[in-house]
Structure 1
């Protein structure tokens, strides 16, 4: 049998490899459509801000049952809450909760089981107080401030509770009002805005090129699912600090990087704007810090490159000279998790499950009764 010349061998090998890759890519795309359909499913609940001033809002009058378990229901004002009138009843003091997806109630079975719903139940004995939930997924402090000015004030609140999530509120504040594009009712990162704020090191072109291939996406999906299986053991000795701006553990790093400090200062600046806005209107500001999962399930509070009291410690320190009532939920949630060995967050998701919402809501209600109602 006549041997092929070297050049033809190389060419033949190249086309075999190319053909194999194309076949694998086709198979991967078919597999991806089945395997990741649930993971990539988007729920159409958002809309552009009708005031055209930036940010976005939740759609009104939604009633969606997701995954045969979670009910997403909003009232005529786009709140994940009971139907309410803008005019409050005489003698009633209103408590407006502002925050991100945790405050919105994702993924409690329904808004009654969200921590704001549990809070409302916890203070229901005091008929002169009424809770309202203005939480919106993905919000940072600029979004909350804008919502406060354009919408929340129409409901005449007496107290405003800012619920800040330790895992990404500094990030979402730094990325600003226009960090997302609303496409088909769901939030998608505005890559141009992200590049402008963080630089191109955050979104390397090589990574963007790889994302075009289903083989790469399936590999990432496999790693993510494997990580979920490994995290069935939810307790850890130490925290592995994420060096990427979008990682939740990034905000517990020690010392803070330059960009983390920028995000921190911008976040505190917006909290000051909110505080001054409310102070002029004789409305009291309260702040609740919500821990991310690893802050609860990491045994050692402090390591060589992390401190689990960050980032909430910065907000607490900022609150003290202004006599702002402040609650860090981390100690109470940690106590429950370690004592009862319970999972308080959804497996494979960074949000509270029903037990987590219940624990947070009860603690906030106890704190509010002690610090406000009984004072």
Structure 2
């Protein structure tokens, strides 16, 4: 009996020792991996978190390097904006401009001081067009947002800052698709539908049981700590993002030519014939008109800024013409022209960019989109694109909004 008991104790001791060694080995491996990832400069912080109304939002006080395209050290303020801190209460000596948009406005590819909204603020304050008033530009841009989320963001968040001018950065390359459930690839966001020309909000994405909401909220703060400080967790998130992007790219048509990029639908460059795209345009235009009506009711000014796609302003006219021929269209300005007509019809301003961008790109033989660490001529505005956009915005505001008091 004693021999059997002793053998059992030995087995348990050996088993415990093995488990302890495995745990110690795992902890050591994690520590070494964390140190190694820091030594090589790896960083991929989680900048977003769940939002019950909008689907996601920027995570307050998040910070870290963004290096997927371009590169900048990103700091999100305490209100969840990719901007410096701003008080809700607007001083009498300040004229405020709120910028709404997706990743074009969020602009994580560049340092803040090189973004179009920051340059716009700086240039206007150098010129001082509003007597003793200082211009303050507040950036509400969030990557991946559609016009639907921006409309909801306007109603819930933007008015807290009492802006005088609202600029909607509208990117036809994916905003139209993002506004239509049948075309969009995301299931984690709100959508609007049109019923008798009325917008009906659908927030089924956030229908979770109370217990799931409780568990989610309990896990929010540990996740923030992991995402901010654990390089291994950041590496895991990078892998998940890469896998998700690969899945999306496989769903998008592979029939590409020079100058065309994945994620930008061909359908945006011509009048839609597909009922889904007709619906997407109808929802998008209704959202913009409703946004315009609300802004007018608040005695503020509304400007739509149609951001360019890379092919629209490619410096090589041969590549643009090749794409135009392939699409059997007259030019690449259909989405911008359609928004301009909408603005003329419903009384809001639209700042056209395509022509000025094309002239600049051709004359200077410069790409206004893309970065060397990804691909020049593709993707978001680069430093020169942001600078040119700011110059056009400033000139437009000085010409059309001299009498704001």
TM-score normalised per structure 2:
0.63
Aligned to 2:304, the other structure's residue is in SS state strand
1:47 deviates by 1.0
Deviations 1:209-257 (A, max 9, x none): xxxxx9xx79x89xxxxx9xx96xxxx6xxx7x9x9x533331135543
1:149 deviates by 1.0
| Cα distance change of structure 1 residues 53 and 69 upon mapping to structure 2, 3 Å threshold | closer
Equivalents in 2 of 1:279, 1:374: separation in Å? 16
The answer (yes or no) to whether the contact 2:55–2:188 under 8 Å persists in 1 is no
Aligned to 1:273: 290
Equivalents in 2 of 1:373, 1:55: separation in Å? 38
Aligned to 2:117: 116
Deviations 1:139-177 (A, max 9, x none): 111100111111111001111111101211101111399
Give 1:365's match in structure 2, choosing from 394, 398, 403. Answer: 394
Higher helix share: 2
Aligned to 2:361: 337
1:333 deviates by 1.0
Aligned to 1:140: 146
Aligned to 1:355: 384
Equivalents in 1 of 2:45, 2:170: separation in Å? 23
Structure 1 segment 88-167 matched on structure 2, within 5 A: 88-108=90-110, 110-125=111-126, 126=128, 127-167=133-173
Equivalents in 2 of 1:333, 1:263: separation in Å? 27
For these two proteins, the number of residue pairs brought into alignment is: 284
The answer (yes or no) to whether the contact 1:62–1:75 under 8 Å persists in 2 is yes
Aligned to 1:44: 46
Aligned to 1:175: 181
Give 1:74's match in structure 2, choosing from 73, 76, 81. Answer: 76
Give ranges in structure 1 of 5+ residues lacking alignment.
Answer: 1-40, 183-191, 194-213, 222-226
The answer (yes or no) to whether the contact 1:145–1:274 under 8 Å persists in 2 is yes
The answer (yes or no) to whether the contact 1:58–1:78 under 8 Å persists in 2 is yes
The answer (yes or no) to whether the contact 1:106–1:352 under 8 Å persists in 2 is no
Equivalents in 1 of 2:301, 2:146: separation in Å? 20
The answer (yes or no) to whether the contact 1:103–1:163 under 8 Å persists in 2 is yes
Equivalents in 1 of 2:120, 2:74: separation in Å? 19
| Cα distance change of structure 1 residues 43 and 295 upon mapping to structure 2, 3 Å threshold | farther
Equivalents in 2 of 1:305, 1:255: separation in Å? 13
Equivalents in 1 of 2:187, 2:272: separation in Å? 29
Equivalents in 2 of 1:57, 1:99: separation in Å? 12
The answer (yes or no) to whether the contact 1:96–1:131 under 8 Å persists in 2 is yes
Equivalents in 1 of 2:167, 2:181: separation in Å? 22
The answer (yes or no) to whether the contact 1:101–1:137 under 8 Å persists in 2 is yes
The answer (yes or no) to whether the contact 2:44–2:64 under 8 Å persists in 1 is no
The answer (yes or no) to whether the contact 1:140–1:170 under 8 Å persists in 2 is yes
Aligned to 1:11: none
Question: Is 1:289 matched with 2:300?
Answer: no
Structure 1 segment 213-224 matched on structure 2, within 5 A: none
Equivalents in 2 of 1:157, 1:55: separation in Å? 24
The answer (yes or no) to whether the contact 1:96–1:134 under 8 Å persists in 2 is yes
The answer (yes or no) to whether the contact 1:86–1:154 under 8 Å persists in 2 is yes
Structure 1 segment 196-275 matched on structure 2, within 5 A: 246-254=263-271, 256-275=273-292
The answer (yes or no) to whether the contact 1:248–1:292 under 8 Å persists in 2 is no
Equivalents in 2 of 1:139, 1:54: separation in Å? 9
Equivalents in 2 of 1:141, 1:123: separation in Å? 27
Aligned to 1:61: 61
Aligned to 2:306, the other structure's residue is in SS state strand
| Cα distance change of structure 1 residues 338 and 81 upon mapping to structure 2, 3 Å threshold | same
The answer (yes or no) to whether the contact 2:306–2:336 under 8 Å persists in 1 is yes
Aligned to 1:138, the other structure's residue is in SS state coil
